[in-house]
Structure 1
Amino acid sequence: MHHKEIGGYLELEHFCGSEYHEGAVALNAARSCLLYLLEAHGVQSIWIPMYLCDSVGESCKAAGVAIRTYDVTKDFKPDYHTINLAAGDYLYLVDYYGQLAQDDVLEARDFCDGKLILDEVQAFFRLPLPGIDTLYCCRKFFGVPDGGYLYTNARLDHTLPQAKSTQHALHLLGRMDDGANAHYGEYSASEHLFAGEHMSAMSEITHNLLRGIDYKAVAESRLRNFLFVHDRLGEKNELMPVARPGAFMYPLLVRDASPIRSAMQQRKIYVPTLWPGATTLEGMSGRLSRDILPLPIDQRYGEEDMEYMCDMVEELLKRGRR
């Protein structure tokens, strides 16, 4: 029997391209990718970095998984001296700003005897290594309502419902008309909704939008902006970030970043704190959370925008040293 609607008003256009992670398990969010792995592998205990968003720990708790935490080093690697793996423990490895080398990932895999979950939320364009469970987030790189990708050999024994993402699209449409401030409330409400959503398959809206993206152009634009910012601010950066195609943000580590972040926000340059829950921590995790300025370098911007932002950062850094 034919159930497809015919006629009436038009919906969004249907795009005919390919998704970048075609063939991966496509879910409604990166946290669903984690929940999928926890359930499929029957994970009982996991080590996660202290320098991390709250949603990872909340997801683990919701799944009844015991959590242990470790610190990270200044070059974004696990501080293995703070990890004491027990039999069966999993390790959650975050590729902050896409800065881990392949050898770093393989070292972590060997350290935990293959019980590794690799978080590539900040490295969408990095392809997975064979045999390593790897998850990605779409919203961190593109203007889509939701979406996460997962590479794994594990499978659930039940079918997931498909997500509906209309409620997560309002702020995306509104920002194009009115700017970010006018629709920040809708964005915040959308973020809160994710916390209560169940694991689902990626929505058709998100699938469709992801088929309409020029991924090559996006990756090149992000790399070009990263290189421009590094050329201007690299000498002022305590880090030595590696430029990779499709870079997430430019991580600028300085002393006392908070007033600079606030001053930039007043001038409508929005630099987040990654992550607010980690700013009070001692050790390197707290320092990285407080004092990294994740500068936006994404595909919306060109050289003129990067020059304006770098001029402002240099001005604020000089002012802070007086």
Structure 2
Amino acid sequence: MNNNFYYSNAILLNSGRNALRYIIKVFEIKKLFVPAYTCVEVIESIKLEGCTLEYYNLNEQLLPTISFQSNEYILYTNYFGICGNNVTKLNEIYPNLIVDNSQAFYFTSKSLAAFYSPRKFFGLPDGGILFCQKELDETLDEDHSHERCSHLLIRWDEGAENGYPYFKSNDESLKKQPIKSMSKLTKALMSNINYQKIKYKRIDNYKILDKYLRNSNELIFDLSENDVPMVYPYFIKNNKIRDKLIQNRIYVAKYWPDIEKLHPLNSYEKHLQNYLLPLPIDQRYNEQDMKIILEVIFG
């Protein structure tokens, strides 16, 4: 493995959702406690393994509102890449904690297991990374990724908007994939990423936004030393700001709008779903871009 490959000592798989399936299989988990505020793909992955789900809700610190027995398996999401301190707290209490670091590529912890979806941070067609205290006693087939690269190539040539339909198609194709090892192509792409440069660019962009938005943000977190945010989560009960950002071609996702069709959310989670603005801070952007976002918000 190239020395530049981040997490070269991990189990390398073809997707983050399949990393979760791997965990369920290797520990033979029959019931898993899952946050109600999560993505549908997580729920689907768990069901594929015949595992029973039990949902728990979150409080305003994005921590579980209930306690668990020490022998129970708990999935916790490292939301937005800023909940490292929460993960540390939960690790101290629950030996069977599984951490979903799909939004927190750089975060490491000593949990029972932790999995990552690197394509959420970098221009990759697929891939999953897993740290796990057990390994399956079987040889996995190797995946192939060349047919999942169209959205990345179109994005370079024609911009993100034109690439988005192909991204959705690629995302849909990953749902049908069995658990496989990471492809040679994805490994090669990951071996050529400047991880440190990207890390500090994201942190710098986050801090610029936080300096000006912190006082009006209802979701305040102090980053741990291990935290590198995926987005700046601006939580303000004002839908006009979302409209202004979109009108100015600043994309702000709405996380997991379909999840309430599967199970109820509490009032705080509903507010997060409706009002949270995940402002972009990734490595494509610089200080000037952050100033433009701020001008739109305050304009």
Q: CA deviation at 1:185?
A: 1.4
CA offset digits 1:33-86 (Å, max 9, x no partner) = 100000000000011001000011111111000001010111111112xx565x
Cα distance change on mapping 1:111 and 1:127 into 2, 3 Å: closer
In structure 1, stretches of 5+ residues that fail to align are: 1-14, 316-322
Out of 265, 269, 272, the residue aligned to residue 288 of structure 1 is 272
Out of 248, 253, 262, the residue aligned to residue 230 of structure 2 is 248
CA offset digits 1:82-137 (Å, max 9, x no partner) = x565x8531101111233344x335434544x1221111111111232x5311111
Task: Judge conservation of contact 1:260–1:313 (CA < 8 Å) in 2.
Answer: yes
Aligned to 1:273: 254
Aligned to 1:35: 21
Q: Which amino acid aligns with 2:183?
A: S
Task: Judge conservation of contact 2:78–2:84 (CA < 8 Å) in 1.
Answer: no
Cα distance in 1, alignment partners of residues 71 and 43 from structure 2: 18
Task: Judge conservation of contact 2:81–2:228 (CA < 8 Å) in 1.
Answer: no
1:105 paired with 2:87, answer yes
Identity %: 30
In structure 2, stretches of 5+ residues that fail to align are: none
1:67 paired with 2:49, answer no
Between 1:50-59 and 1:176-185, the stretch displaced more is: 176-185
Correspondences of 1:1-322 after superposition (within 5 Å): 16-80=2-66, 85=69, 89-102=72-85, 104-109=86-91, 111-112=93-94, 114-129=95-110, 131-243=111-223, 246-257=228-239, 259-278=240-259, 281-315=265-299
Task: Judge conservation of contact 1:241–1:251 (CA < 8 Å) in 2.
Answer: no
Q: Which amino acid aligns with 1:312?
A: V
Q: Which amino acid aligns with 2:256?
A: W
SS class of match (1:295): strand
TM-score (norm 1): 0.86
Cα distance in 2, alignment partners of residues 145 and 236 from structure 1: 36
SS class of match (2:278): strand
SS class of match (2:213): helix
Task: Judge conservation of contact 2:257–2:273 (CA < 8 Å) in 1.
Answer: yes
Q: Which amino acid aligns with 1:192?
A: E
Task: Judge conservation of contact 2:16–2:117 (CA < 8 Å) in 1.
Answer: yes
Q: CA deviation at 1:261?
A: 2.3
